[in-house]
Amino acid sequence: MRLVFLGPPGAGKGTHAQILVEDYEVPQISTGDMLREAIRRGTPTGKKAQECMDKGMLVPDDVVIALVKERLGHDDAHKGFILDGFPRTPDQGASLDAMLAELGMPLDMVCYFKTSQATVVRRLSGRWICSQCGKNYNVVNFRPKTAGICDTCGAKLIQRPDDQEETIKKRLAIYEEQTAPLIGYYRNKGILAEVSGDLEVKPLDAAIRMAFSARTAGKAN
């Protein structure tokens, strides 16, 4: 399984990547998580990323590409991966294609979460993440068993600064301008599958699995 999850912030990409990695035993490679770890450690990359993220802006390509390339070299990514949050632009998509071709790891499918703005704002304003392991939760459709506490590691849940409403709107505007063109890019390559990001967790999970099964069955034939 080598997938890219494409869609606006709040579409459910991170949540569904977490669900699938347990069943398919491949890593979720989240550029957001990698960048936040760099920020936590106070690295030069992290400081550069922090300034952009606080303003609701995209992190520069060279920073993200360097992180992704390093992560794909880890042993656990050799049999597959789910990329969440990368690529964000057609240029990054082309860079990713070249990188994967060099590694002999072409994408199986790009899953596009088509999601309304109302859903995005509602979900992001209710999103919380684990301060320790980074797991995503949402008061709307993916609540922890104990309020404010991570189910996995027991650490405290926090809300990210970039999940405030005004920053959300800026992020959506940037997405429409820079990331949405990836839909056509991957559709032209013949590997795009579209699902509704407005669906709740269980029906959306079923739709993703059905799309992946159809894709792999088509390749087998």
5-32 per-position pLDDT tens digit: 999 988 889 889 989 998 889 999 888 7
Contact 99, 69 (CB under 8 A): yes
What does the block give as tokens for 146?
Answer: 């104990």
The question of whether 209 is a catalytic residue gets the answer: no
Highest mean pLDDT range out of 33-37, 39-43, 66-70, 156-160? 156-160
The question of whether 40 is a catalytic residue gets the answer: no
Catalytic residue among 36, 71, 123, 127: 127
Contact 161, 48 (CB under 8 A): no
Catalytic residue among 122, 160, 170, 187: 160
The question of whether 160 is a catalytic residue gets the answer: yes
Domains in the chain, number: 1
Per the DSSP assignment, residues forming a β-bridge with 192 are 110
Domain that holds residue 121: 2-220
54, 79, 221 from 216: Cα distances, Å: 39, 15, 9
Catalytic residue among 36, 123, 171, 215: 171
Does pLDDT of 220 surpass 80? no
Highest mean pLDDT range out of 33-47, 55-69, 103-117, 133-147? 103-117
Does pLDDT of 167 surpass 90? no
The question of whether 122 is a catalytic residue gets the answer: no
> Whole-structure pTM over 0.85, yes or no?
no
Q: Which helix (H) or strand (E) holds 165?
A: helix 165-174
102-141 per-position pLDDT tens digit: 888 999 999 999 999 888 888 888 889 999 998 888 887 7
For residue 155, what is the domain's CATH number?
A: 3.40.50.300
Catalytic residue among 36, 88, 123, 135: 88
Cα 122 to Cα 190: distance, rounded to the nearest angstrom: 32
Catalytic residue among 13, 123, 135, 215: 13
Does pLDDT of 66 surpass 80? no
